[in-house]
Structures are given as structure tokens and as C-alpha cells.
């Protein structure tokens, strides 16, 4: 899809401004409490901090613009420790003791699996803003991140056409990599490609030399990579060993927050994301500038910031559409809801997953840069629409 015109971008900015700046200021009143179950320890805390940045920015914007139906928003954070048991305990505490209206989070698929049943039993909206493997439709779950057809479904055809059709799959021994690779293999075969090997790391490795040698010996042209947290040093070691001269990394879930880990290594790795911080789009540049003003000039701003920001903007829009702060009424209002975002409209379907603009991007220097805009991609979450 061709880049949006300046006129369209201006309209998007005006729409976002109109949403966040009602005419009157919020009247003093009891805050609307929103819980956030996020990893602040346990291995993927970088992403928890990105989510927090987005939520803090959204709450600040909403409160400055009058709140939600005249009431301020307060975000209450809980550390899920990157463990399902801790995530479940945190959500129960937020719902039962803190009386939160909704919950945002978590990051990992394992923890999402632990939280959905609690959202359903407590009838509490759960806003999930991380890319995931799909397959979860629930009245009480709303997904603001990408699902496989929006990510893998765009990345694999580009990689096959551009770099070759033989793939080595490398991921962490966790739910998300297993599920994503299960989806990727038939897609690769449909494209006329071949998976030469699939490997999973245990999270305890510090020396990846044997694995690097195995990948080099496979002669694969594309390394489909789904490692996070403690496996990320693989990229630096692979680059220093010369592996990345002969194979191109297709990196699932890559974002700007990861780039510091690579220490300048891992150039020209390719990914598909819903936002690129280095974009020249005026709306994106303005959003990134505001995020950095809040968090500090040296702080990375990734798509995790934007997708988590969107959760509270959607809550505000749904409450105003419903005309009241009632959980069931707001859930009904969320289905089909369209909100403006810096990258263009985000629309929640009847299955509670988001249609949004997606972008092919690659690592360049210390940044992630846009290669190609893909336009709006509707989600195919792999499950039936949520019960109404």
C-alpha cells in the first residue's frame, strides 16, 4: 500500500486530538482503577517496562483531557515475575482486593493462558497488547497486538522471495515459539520452501557455539528466530562467528527495545511490526517524542509502548460509546470499535482482535527502520467470535 498522504496523517492527528481532548476537564471523583499484570522480573522485564511507559502516557493524556466520563484513570501495577502462578495471583489480587475495572497484560503466552480463565470467572475485561499465536476468543479478552497472519503471514512471503526458501527455526522452549513454529511450517511449505531443522533452547545456554555451527552446516538461507530474554545473546555470538553473512534472520517479535542487547551486531535482521519508532510519519514522530519526553531521551520506544497505550484509549472510547462505566456495556461497545492511533486506525472486530497497519522493518545501525508499509491487515485469530 502506498504511504498515507500528509492530509490523511493530519486527519488522524486531529481525530486522536479530538478523542483525548474533550471540552471540559474532569470533575473530582473516585478514580477508575485499571490493573496491569506485567513482567518486571523473571527475564522479559524490558517488555514490561515498555508496556508501563505506554500505559503511563495514556493515563496522563486521558486525565489531562478530562478523564473517562469525568473520572480520572489510575493504573495499578503488579509484577507477574514471568511466571503463570505469579500472574494469576496478581490478577486475583487486583480484582478482589483493589477492585480494578479492567486488567492490561501480560506479556508472555503462558501467563495469558493463566489469566483468561480469571478474566472470565470474574467477568473482568482483559486487554492483551502483545503479539501472540492467536487461538483465544473470549467475551472478556481483547487483543491489541498482532496474530500470526498479521506477522508470519506477511514476513514469510517476503523472506522467501528476497532471501531464499530454506529455513532453520530457532526458538525458546516456551509456548509462543512452539505455537508460532507450528503455524510457520505449513506456511513455508505452501510457499514452496523447506524447514531443514527446528531447535529450541532451554534458557540456560551461555555459549551458543555448537548451535551456531549446526545452523551454518544446515546451509539454510533464512533463520526464523523466536528467542527472547536470556537467549538474545545468540545474535551477537552468531554475528561474531560470521553466521549472519550467509543467513538472514527473520525475527519474530523484534522491537527497538531489543537493539541495545545486540551491541551493534545483527544488522539487516527483518521483522514485521505494527509501528516503527524511526518512522518519518509526523504522527509517529510526535508520539515517540512525547514518550521520550516522559521517560528520558535515551529510552527505547517500541511498538509495545504504542499497543499498550491503545488499550486505555480504547477503554475511554468504549466507555463514552456506552455512556456509562459498566463492564458488560463497555465490553459490548468494544466490539467493532475503531480508535485513532499514530499509525492509523485500530479496529476491534467481533472476535475482539485488532485490524491495524503493519510494516516490514529491519535493523540498521542502532535502529529499526521501515522497509515497506503493508497497509491495514485484518486479524485471523484462529477462533470463533467471542460470545456476546
**Helix/strand/coil for 116:** helix
Q: What is the pTM of this model?
A: 0.90
Region class of 192: left (phi > 0), else alpha (psi between -120 and 50), else beta: left
Lowest mean pLDDT of 15-24, 148-157, 312-321, name the range: 15-24
5: pLDDT strictly greater than 50 = no
A 10 A CB-CB count for 275 gives 30
How confident is the model at residue 230, as a pLDDT? 63
The pLDDT value recorded for residue 6 is 34
133 or 385, greater pLDDT:
133
Strands 73-79 vs 102-104: parallel, antiparallel or unpaired: unpaired
Total residues belonging to the chain? 388
User: Nearest 5°: phi and psi at 357?
Assistant: -70, 140
| pLDDT of 38 above 80 | yes
Q: Which domains does the chain have, with CATH numbers?
A: 6-147+277-357 (3.40.50.2300), 152-252 (3.40.50.2300)
**What are the tens digits of pLDDT across the range 308-351?**
999 999 999 999 999 999 999 999 999 999 999 999 999 999 99
CA distances in angstroms from 125 to 69, 138, 223, 289, 340, listed in the order given: 18, 10, 37, 30, 21
Instruction: Kindly list the distances between the CA atom of residue 189 and the CA atoms of 151, 174, 182, 233, 298, in Å, as whole numbers in the listed order.
Output: 17, 23, 12, 30, 42
Q: What pLDDT was estimated at residue 17?
A: 42
Say if residue 353's pLDDT is above 50.
Answer: yes
Amino acid at each position: 500500500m502506498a504511504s498515507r498522504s500528509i492530509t490523511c496523517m493530519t486527519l488522524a492527528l486531529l481525530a486522536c486530538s479530538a478523542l483525548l481532548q474533550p471540552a471540559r476537564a474532569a470533575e473530582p471523583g473516585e478514580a477508575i482503577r485499571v490493573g496491569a499484570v506485567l513482567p518486571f522480573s523473571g527475564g522479559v522485564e524490558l517488555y514490561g517496562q515498555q508496556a508501563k511507559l505506554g500505559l503511563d502516557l495514556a493515563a496522563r493524556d486521558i486525565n489531562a483531557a478530562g478523564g473517562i466520563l469525568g473520572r480520572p484513570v489510575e493504573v495499578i501495577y503488579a509484577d507477574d515475575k514471568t511466571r503463570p502462578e505469579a500472574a494469576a495471583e496478581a490478577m486475583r489480587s487486583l480484582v478482589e482486593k483493589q477492585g480494578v475495572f479492567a486488567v492490561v497484560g501480560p506479556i508472555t503466552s503462558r501467563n495469558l493462558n493463566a489469566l483468561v480463565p480469571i478474566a472470565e470467572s470474574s467477568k473482568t475485561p482483559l486487554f492483551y497488547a502483545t503479539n501472540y499465536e492467536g487461538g483465544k476468543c473470549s467475551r472478556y479478552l481483547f487483543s491489541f497486538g498482532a496474530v500470526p497472519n498479521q506477522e508470519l503471514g506477511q514476513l514469510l512471503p517476503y523472506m522467501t522471495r528476497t532471501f531464499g526458501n530454506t529455513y532453520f527455526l530457532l526458538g525458546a522452549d516456551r509456548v509462543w515459539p512452539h505455537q508460532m513454529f507450528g503455524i510457520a511450517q505449513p506456511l513455508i511449505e505452501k510457499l514452496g520452501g523447506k524447514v531443514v531443522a527446528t531447535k529450541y533452547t532451554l534458557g540456560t545456554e551461555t555459549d551458543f557455539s555448537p548451535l551456531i555451527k549446526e545452523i551454518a552446516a544446515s546451509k539454510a538461507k533464512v533463520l526464523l528466530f523466536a528467542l527472547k530474554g536470556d537467549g538474545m545473546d545468540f545474535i551477537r555470538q552468531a554475528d561474531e562467528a560470521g553466521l549472519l553473512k550467509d543467513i538472514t534472520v527473520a525475527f519474530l517479535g523484534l522491537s527497538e527495545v531489543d537493539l541495545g542487547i545486540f551491541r551493534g551486531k545483527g544488522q539487516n535482521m527483518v521483522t514485521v511490526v505494527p509501528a516503527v519508532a524511526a518512522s518519518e510519519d509526523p504522527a509517529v514522530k510526535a508520539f515517540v517524542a512525547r514518550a521520550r519526553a516522559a521517560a528520558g531521551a535515551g529510552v527505547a520506544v517500541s511498538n509495545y509502548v504504542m499497543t499498550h497505550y491503545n488499550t486505555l484509549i480504547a477503554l475511554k472510547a468504549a466507555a463514552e460509546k456506552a455512556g456509562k462505566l459498566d463492564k458488560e456495556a463497555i465490553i459490548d461497545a468494544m466490539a467493532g470499535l475503531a480508535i485513532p492511533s499514530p499509525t492509523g486506525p485500530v479496529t476491534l472486530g467481533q472476535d475482539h482482535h485488532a485490524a491495524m497497519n503493519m510494516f516490514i522493518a529491519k535493523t540498521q545501525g542502532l535502529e529499526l527502520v521501515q522497509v515497506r508499509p503493508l497497509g491495514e491487515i485484518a486479524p485471523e485469530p484462529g477462533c470463533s467470535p467471542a460470545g456476546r
